[in-house]
Structure 1
């Protein structure tokens, strides 16, 4: 009886020791993980500090292309010059540059060890919007940009609302892009050179070359321009003088010019 009791006591002690060993093991594992994390953070901090202070990675040269746009970025250039190329936030620089109204897009490239290259793509004048005596220049996205000098060489667009520095009718900008697309695709300029577009009424868009007019309805502009090329071509072949062509109907109507 006593032997069994002694054996049971020994067994309980062994089980207690095993549980204690497991707890000690878990403690050391957790401690090891914590120590490893702290060590990693400290090594990372020391490495960053070391790299940050390395003179070889300090930005010494900032190249802007095209070069004539360098003055546009003076503030940004001065802010970044002397910082460490390894830790420059390219996305942040690109966001600041693209916030400039005249910039359409940009690319910032790190050239190691110490050069930052900035490629700038400016918004290009597309058409001139007119509202009574006011005019503004816009790009293909409908963004108002600085005015151009030779306004006569751009399409003059009426009937698109703008104000407070923004174009208010972006849906009409989309229609205008489609008009330009198919106008160029079918090379209509060789037969009818647009100078003015009136979009006051989208159900009757007026293209004007200064002497003649074409009326469009933007349901199938590709088909309308395809047919317009045929109609104008036939008029030219027959030496038929016309005042306007209405393309809004299945059978286009051609109004003869009064002599």
Structure 2
């Protein structure tokens, strides 16, 4: 009997404490679950932050795209404006080149008239010939811009090289006692005239709107005369004020 009791008797100090182990395990599991939940929440927060960042990035990219389109449109408009401006500059330069018209010629010596019919005066002394358009051999201004001008280059004719507003002037001197009658004639139409019965000096001029190819001459009337001298008191000149075409 004593032996049996000895085999069945146990030491309470060596027996495991079941409630303590269970609580610790539960606490560990709870801690692990809480940590996992915390990690999940952190991941969810980071994911939401990433999604927000992506949305902001999309917004920024869209704004940049709109700005790029607006800039490209502005550049296109600027290029078109630049092209139009270049075209206008080229046209203005062409007009300026055509508009460089100025001449002055005089009768340096000799006498013309009196003649039985009216005649176009031809001048032998070229003072100014901007653009080399005045034929000094013939005493004629004929700008080399069209074939029309070559047709009349022998007759003391000014031919408008470009449409515009011109100032043309003339002066005449007649010997004492001689009749003086000279007219500025555009396409056979008298624009202005000077007269004198006892010789002397006279002059006039006009601002004329000319089309390209219009012809202007100084015409000595019949039975009148003019003479040249070193003072160049008989002459014809003019220049383009501004082009109109």
TM-score range, shorter chain: under 0.3
Choose between structure 1 and 2 for higher RCO, CA contacts under 8 A separated by at least 6 residues.
2
Larger radius of gyration: 2
TM-score by length of 1: 0.26
More strand by share: 2
More helix by share: 1
TM-score by length of 2: 0.27
